[in-house]
Structure formats: C-alpha cells, structure tokens
C-alpha cells in the first residue's frame, strides 16, 4: 500500500472538499471509498471527500495503523493556523467569487489558487464585517500574517490579486492595490539538465509507458497537465505534429514530433491500447495521475544516479534551452512552448551555455 497521502482543502461542485493526492493504489482506493465515501474528480484529477473534521479523524484512525502517513498541505496548514474560522457569510462570498471566475472560464487551477488565498484572508478577519475591510486591513494582513510567517513572495501576490478581484466583482468595492505593498518579483533562472543527464533519466525507465511519458514531456516541451490531457487523436503522425488543446491561457498550439518520438509512441500504443486519454491510469478511460507521474520521474532520477532535485518542469526547461543552444530562433521556441510574451522565452538565453562557453577567463593568462 502507498505510504502517504497529501491532503489539500478546496471546492468541488461548489462544495468545500478535501482533495487526497497519492500514488495509485487499488487497496487504498477501496478503503477510501468504503470508509470515508471518497469519490474521483475528473475535473481536478484526484480523489476527494467531504471537508469534515470527523471524517478526517476517521481517515487517520483507519490508515495510520496500516503505515499510511497523512500529510497536511501547506495551504491547509495556513487555513487551520488562522486566527478564526470562516463564517457562513464568508463561505458564501468565496463561492460567489468561484462562480464568477468559472463563468468567465478561468482555469480550475487559477480558481483554486485565488479562492484558497481569499479564504485565508477572510478567516484572518473573521471577527470583522467584510464590508468594513479596508486598504489598511490588507496592509496589516501583509505585515502580521504573510511577513510574520515568512511566506513566499508568490503567495503574497496571490493574496493581493485575489483580494482585488473579490472586492471588485463580488463586493463592488475598490481596494486601492497601489497602496498595498507588493514584493518585487523574484528573478529566478530555470533549472536545466544537460543532454547527457536527460538521456540517463529517459533510459532509466524499463517500463515502456513511463519512458513514453517522460520522453514526450522532454521532446515537445510539455507541461505536466498538457501531457496528461493528451488524447490519441492529438498525434498527427503524417505531419509529425503534436496538437496541444486548450493549454495554459486557453490556447491551442502545435509542437514538432520527431520520428524517434513517433516510433516510441507507436510501440506504446500497440502495447497499451489507450481508450480515451493517451496515457491512462489503472482504470481505463481515466487520465494518468499526476502524483504517480511525479513518482515515476523520481525513481528514474534515482536510478540514473542524479542527485539534483529534478521535477517534471525541468524537462520542459531543458528542452527549450537545448533548442536555443542548437540554433533554433527564439520566436519559434516561444510558439512551441506557448509563451504569451517573448520576454518569458528570453530567460533561456541566461542559462544557455552556447555563448558563455566561448568566454575565456583572464585567469587562464595569469
């Protein structure tokens, strides 16, 4: 049986739920279904159960004797460590924002991020009427909650964005965000593997399905969600193209498929015969589980003897950097990756070694 479940709070079908993330395990799924009435969410690609303290306690009692550890996500820890509880009014307001965002076709991921951040903020001010919250309250929250807990810059920005959207759309009230201090955006370089390291990782998997998934992420520069949403009809082998439907920003795009990749996919398709999704989970017709894919990569990295904390997104970064070092124009890389702005793509010029390796250190002439 899998040894850990990560639990995160969220909404599904407009009701507060607890999402349960774990590597696929048929025995564990049987227990979840029968002990806490857990269900599968196609929308969120995860198992979920009612957000109930009693059910969570029961889950612990059932699973801990079996050696299964329950990990409370950082977001849920933040919820439970807030000053107060979320009032009925606040819950309804969060739901209103969710419905507004959904009507405007925001992605479920963005909706989850904004409503999570908003719940933390409203729980902090649970003793105050929402209509009385002002700019000074937002500034105080930043100082006494975000900064005091040394939470990340991105979290602080998410809260500010969520508050701004909430008050504008639900409360019809303007919060002067200009007076609320935002942190400077961190300028982090993408993590990139060498071609040799990528080869070691891809060849570390003897399992054909696992190798096909990791290879396709690298060979087309895919995001994890884009890979798991693929269907067999998205492969155009006659034109050597992969069609990525409704990716980030609700945009379709295409990526070139090499003959080597097509040959690997054909071998995989004949062996596994997927029905709906290109890469399906243990149950036919359901997409492969994201946490299971993360575990696949983790094992491949370990087998390859690589000590770096490699994530699936590193493969996408490596693909872009290797294209640039191979002489591909930045404009084409931008299109293939699906970047809205060329400035996003230009970051790979800072990690490409093509020009830097030509620089001769003055130390060599001493």
Q: Look at residue 311 in the predicted model and tell me its pLDDT.
A: 92
Residue listed under structure tokens 């920005």: 157
Give strand pairing partners of 243: 254
Which residue out of 223, 231, 245, 272 is catalytically annotated?
223
Q: Which residue in 8, 44, 253, 316 is the catalytic one?
A: 316
- Let me know if 343 is a catalytic residue: no
71 included as an active-site residue = no
Q: Is 298 a catalytic residue?
A: no
- Catalytic residue, from 248, 269, 272, 298: name it: 248
Which among 320, 340, 171 has a CA at the least distance from the CA of 248?
Answer: 340
Closest Cα to residue 124, out of 110, 137, 111?
Answer: 137
Q: What is the pLDDT of residue 53?
A: 67
Mark whether 313 is an active-site residue: yes
3-class secondary structure for 150-188?
CCCHHHHHHHHHHHHHHHHHCCCCCCCHHHCCCCCCCCC
Q: Contacts by 330-333 with C-beta closer than 8 Å and gap 24+? A: none
Given the residues 205, 253, 317, 339, the one annotated as active site: 339
Nearest to residue 134, comparing CAs of 162, 96, 90, 176? Answer: 176
| Residue carrying structure tokens 């799924």 | 29
Structure confidence by residue, pLDDT tens digits, 36-54? 888 888 777 788 888 776 7
Please report the pLDDT score of residue 256 as a whole number. Answer: 92
> Which residues, in sequence order, are bridge partners of residue 21?
6
- All residue ranges of the chain with pLDDT < 50 are 82
* 334, 234 Cβ separation under 8 angstroms: no
The predicted pLDDT at position 357 comes to 65
Q: Is 48 a catalytic residue?
A: no
Domains of the chain: 4-72 (no CATH), 88-179 (1.10.150.130), 195-350 (1.10.443.10)
Catalytic residue among 58, 231, 272, 313: 313
DSSP characters for 37-106? --EEETTTTEEEEE--HHHHHHHHHHHGGGTPEEEEPHHHHHHHTSSS---HHHHHHHHHHHHHHHHTT-
pLDDT at 243: 94
Specify the pLDDT at position 144.
85
Residue 331 is among the residues annotated as catalytic for this protein = no
pTM for the model: 0.66
pLDDT value for 178: 64
Environment class of residue 313 by beta-carbon count within 10 Å: exposed (0-12), middle (13-18) or buried (19+)? middle
pLDDT digits (tens, 9 = 90+) for 298-330: 999 999 999 999 999 999 999 999 998 888 888
What's the pLDDT at 360?
66
As a whole number of angstroms, the distance between CA 287 and CA 274 comes to: 10
Which of these, 48, 185, 17, lies nearest to 115 by C-alpha position?
17
């Amino acid at each position: 049986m899998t040894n850990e479940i990560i639990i995160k709070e969220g909404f599904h079908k407009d009701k507060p739920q607890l999402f349960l993330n774990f590597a696929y395990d048929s025995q564990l799924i049987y227990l979840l279904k029968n002990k806490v009435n857990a269900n599968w969410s196609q929308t969120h690609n995860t198992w979920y159960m009612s957000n109930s303290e009693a059910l969570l306690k029961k889950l612990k009692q059932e699973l801990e004797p079996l050696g299964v550890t329950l990990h409370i996500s950082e977001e849920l820890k933040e919820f439970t460590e807030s000053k107060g509880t979320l009032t009925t009014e606040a819950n309804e307001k969060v739901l209103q924002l969710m419905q507004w965002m959904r009507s405007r076709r925001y992605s479920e991921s963005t909706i989850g991020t904004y409503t999570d951040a908003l719940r933390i903020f409203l729980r902090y001010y649970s003793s105050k009427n929402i209509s009385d919250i002002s700019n000074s309250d937002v500034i105080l929250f930043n100082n006494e909650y975000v900064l005091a807990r040394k939470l990340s810059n991105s979290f602080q920005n998410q809260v500010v964005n969520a508050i701004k959207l909430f008050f504008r759309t639900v409360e019809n009230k303007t919060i002067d965000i200009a007076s609320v201090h935002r942190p400077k955006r961190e300028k982090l370089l993408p993590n990139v593997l060498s071609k040799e390291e990528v080869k070691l990782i891809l060849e570390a998997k003897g399992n054909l399905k696992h190798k096909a998934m990791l290879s396709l992420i690298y060979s087309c520069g895919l995001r994890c969600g884009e890979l798991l949403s693929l269907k067999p009809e998205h492969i155009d082998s006659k034109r050597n193209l992969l069609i990525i439907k409704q990716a980030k920003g609700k945009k379709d795009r295409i990526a070139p498929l090499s003959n080597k990749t097509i040959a690997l996919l054909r071998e995989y398709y004949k062996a596994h015969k997927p029905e709906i999704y290109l890469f399906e989970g243990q149950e036919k017709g359901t997409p492969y589980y994201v946490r299971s894919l993360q575990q696949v990569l983790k094992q491949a990295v370990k087998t390859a003897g690589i000590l770096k904390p490699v994530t699936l997104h590193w493969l996408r970064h490596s693909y872009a950097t290797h294209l640039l070092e191979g002489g591909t124009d930045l404009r084409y890389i931008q299109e293939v990756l699906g970047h809205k702005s060329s400035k996003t793509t230009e970051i790979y010029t800072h990690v490409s070694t093509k020009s830097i390796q030509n620089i001769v250190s003055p130390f060599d002439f001493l």
